[in-house]
Amino acid sequence: MTNLKSLLVATTAATLAAIATAEFTNSFDGIIAGSDVKLSWGSQQSQQATRDLYLCVTAQVIDRGDGEGSGKVDVYKVNVTTTATGNEYTWTGVPYPLRRIKNGLYQVEVRDCSGLSTNNTVLAKSPFFSVEEEDPGVVVNPDPDTSSSTGSSDEKKKGPPAINKTALGIGLGVAIGVPSIAGLVVVGWCFRKRQKRAAEERRRARRREFVIY
């Protein structure tokens, strides 16, 4: 059992030594507070070498105070995760669990935390970087449900539906034409009735002319 553990420790140490000079391959420029940063380090070879190891991603910030040369410097250091594997990890809500410090200098490290390394080997270390203040007018990680419910800008620009002028003309024609036809029918009926009455009066007049007294 002791020999197996010694062999495992020796193998792990050799693996970590082979990738101890790995560097972060992602950019640390323009990081905004509250955003997500995909950390990546090493090569495909280092990913294969560390796929069975638990890695610690550690973040630290150097607080330089008000930046006016007060001389007081504080350093805060925390583990972002202790279960990273391979050579990638997404750091969500940067710089959480650290707080954002206006003039702070941040740095990220990847270490072996499998317990098999006696010197807590540093696998990768980032350059110092700053975390910009989050712009309240910009949504860093929009909620998909909220985004979909607001609709696209094209939909917002659309006005009321276009009026079909042909259909409107037909509708007005029907609305005006039906009462007009009904009125013409009534007028025609009255005119024919008057003509019939006048003809009847003329016949009666002719009969009276032939009456003998």
- Does residue 145 lie within any of the structural domains? no
Using an 8 Å Cβ cutoff, are 102 and 57 in contact?
no
Q: How far apart are CA 198 and CA 191, in angstroms?
A: 11
Average pLDDT over residues 168-190: 61
Higher pLDDT residue, 26 or 6? 26
Find the length of the chain: 213
In a domain, 14, yes or no: yes
Same domain? For 15 and 120 the reply is yes
Total structural domains within the chain? 2
Are both 7 and 92 inside the same structural domain?
Answer: yes
Q: Are 54 and 83 in contact (CB under 8 A)?
A: yes
Four-CA torsion 28, 33, 36, 42, nearest 10 degrees: 20
Domain ranges, residue 179: 167-213
- Greater confidence (209 vs 194) lies with 194
- Which pLDDT does position 74 carry in this prediction? 93
Among residues 111, 134, 157, the one where a domain terminates is 134
Residue 171 lies in a domain: yes
- What residues form DSSP beta bridges with 88? 40
Do 206 and 108 sit in the same domain of this protein? no
To which residue do tokens 């696998």 refer? 123
Helix (H, G, I), strand (E, B) or coil at 62: strand
Q: Is 112 helix (H, G, I), strand (E, B) or coil?
A: strand
Residues 49 and 125 both lie in one domain: yes
Question: Among 90, 112, 134, where does a domain finish?
Answer: 134
Cα separation, 104 vs 67, in Å, equals 9
CA atoms in the 13 A half-sphere facing the CB of 70: 9
Residue 156 belongs to a domain: no
Domain match, 82 and 125 both: yes
* Domain CATH code at residue 45: 2.60.40
Both 30 and 116 in one domain: the answer is yes
Last residue of a domain, one of 114, 134, 154: 134
Tens of pLDDT, residues 136-151: 665 555 554 544 444 4
For the cut 60, the answer to whether the pLDDT of residue 171 exceeds it is no
SS3 153: helix
Q: Tokens 């809500």 sit at which residue?
A: 93
Banded pLDDT at 99 (limits 50, 70, 90): very high
Task: Please tell me whether residues 76 and 118 are part of one structural domain.
Answer: yes
For the segment 10-59, what is each residue's pLDDT rounded down to a tens digit? 444 545 454 555 789 999 999 999 999 999 997 655 665 566 788 999 99
- Can you give the pLDDT at residue 210? 54
